[in-house]
Structure 1
């Protein structure tokens, strides 16, 4: 097996292991433990996880140590999109799309009625972006 990179042991290094509940992240976690690599284990809750994944994560945590669980909140981004729709769409729908002011107002009302945070990070991200992710283009840059 390959040696652990010495940079992993530097005082200024923060080793983060992204735990997914799958075999690869588990192997990485076990390798860090077995080689005394200081690390932080993190699980990103997408809100789209299978219940058995969450149970398995609890089990792993009970056996291997603390997992920091993070969950994204896109409320601020959705509010920004709502503001954009309320302020910009009245002009663009009439001037660029040829709608009447009444048609534009109805379209804006319908959009704002459904564009609200759900608390599910995956769905909220899709609503903020206006589409579901696919493999032909960038979706989220970190």
Structure 2
């Protein structure tokens, strides 16, 4: 049984074109635009950037302490407090809300793409013969 490579190539081109169009539509969507705007606002906000640096440093110190078995509950509480303070900044809260909204929309799109394939495209398309 031979495969018509011209037909196969045309079908693949159509699929790639549709995938590109989907990506472009996502980028142009209000939910994605809001995400990009709030991300840019966080990146431009000096206080947010300073708190992000502080949080990341605390988190790294905690991870190192945890690896060496020296992490304490106080360390956990300190990291959690720093994260809460960071997330309480209005610019950061807006960004996290936009991120959650975008994630939910992308999960909806993943389900829509995956449904006719009978596979969770986003999670299992790269795997083979996985037990469910």
TM normalised by structure 1 equals 0.26
Larger RCO (alpha carbons 8 Å, 6+ apart)? 2
TM normalised by structure 2 equals 0.27
**Whose strand proportion is higher, 1 or 2?**
1
**Whose helix proportion is higher, 1 or 2?**
2
